[in-house]
Structures are given as structure tokens and as C-alpha cells.
Amino acid sequence: MKRTNLPYSPKLKTKPLSTNPKKSKDSQLEFRRQLRKEMTCAELRMWYWLRAKRFKNLKFRRQHRIGPYIVDYYCRELGLVLEIDGDVHAVEKQLEKDRIRTQFLRERGLTVVRYSNNDVRLNLGSVLHDLFEITEAMRGHPLPTLSLKRERGILKSPLF
């Protein structure tokens, strides 16, 4: 059977889910599965580096439910929410929804970090470096004095 993917719709992610627990639990699970199958190019690139503890041995979950919202990536160990925003997030109406969503997450003690799709697609190295610094600060570790260190004659980056 051939699987066809529906076009990705960023509007779906910001819509609060149903408050009916019986109905919402099954529909939320199915909806999160659909979002995982229909990731944007930027989300796929970021997921490559976050999955399987590739980034600083931190476990990230994708399309994770927190309250009535589904976040792109979530690291429980640090209480970090990572959002990859498309062009639709520049619209005034969507900015207000994002502000409410961010406030909801921060009230629960979570740190919310947002990057644009363009930043992830065009400047992934800078995004990962920025995320590295944020996670180091959250862990309370000082940053290394050198960005690259030499091990057995090979330069290794502390990011990977």
C-alpha cells in the first residue's frame, strides 16, 4: 500500500487540543504521529542532530505533548522546549498565539528556545552552537576555553 503524505500545516501545531480526556488522548496521539511523519526540511535536519542522544548525550523527544500543546522537541532532563518556526509565525495573529503558548510553558518551569526554519536550513552550525551554549548554561557547566580540542591528531568539536 502506497502512503501519501498530506501537506504540512504549521497552523495545526499551535491549536490547543480538545479538553475531553477520552476523545483527546487518542486523537492527540494520532495527531502527533501525523506530525512526526510530515516534518519540514528544517525539522528533519534538526532531528538528525537531536535524536538518539547525538547532541551532548541529551534525550530529546519530538512532537511531545505538554498540556494542551504539542512542542517540536522536548528535553526532560533540562526542561528545555525547542521550537522550529516557519514563516507563518511572523504573522501578527500567530505571534500572539506563540506568546501565549510560551507563557504557558514558562509558567511550568520550562525554557523555550525558538529558531526559524531559515536559520536551521541555512545556518545549522550556528544554531547548534547557540543550543550548545544554552544547554551548558542550563547545566551550570562552564564553556570550554577552546572551541576545538585535539585528540589523537584529529580535531574534535565539543558540539558533537
pLDDT at 47: 95
Which CATH topology does 29-156 take? Answer: Endonuclease; Chain A (3.40.960)
Give the mean model confidence (pLDDT) for residues 116-133.
95
d(CA 5, CA 37) in angstroms, rounded, equals 8
d(CA 100, CA 49) in angstroms, rounded, equals 28
Mean pLDDT for the chain?
A: 78
What band does 104 get if pLDDT is binned at 50, 70 and 90? very high
Helices 41-50 + 124-139 axis angle, to 10: 50
- Domain coordinates in residue numbering, the chain: 29-156
d(CA 131, CA 158) in angstroms, rounded, equals 12
pLDDT at 91: 74
d(CA 107, CA 24) in angstroms, rounded, equals 23
pLDDT at 55: 95
d(CA 87, CA 132) in angstroms, rounded, equals 25
Cα four-point dihedral sign 136, 137, 138, 142: positive
Give the mean model confidence (pLDDT) for residues 95-104.
94
How much is the pTM? 0.70
Residue 57 has pLDDT above 50, yes or no: yes
Counting every residue written for the chain, the total comes to 160
What band does 140 get if pLDDT is binned at 50, 70 and 90? confident
More confident site: 68 or 18: 68
The cell 519540514 sits on which residue?
40
How many angstroms separate the most distant Cα atoms in the chain? Answer: 59
Residue 149 has pLDDT above 60, yes or no: no
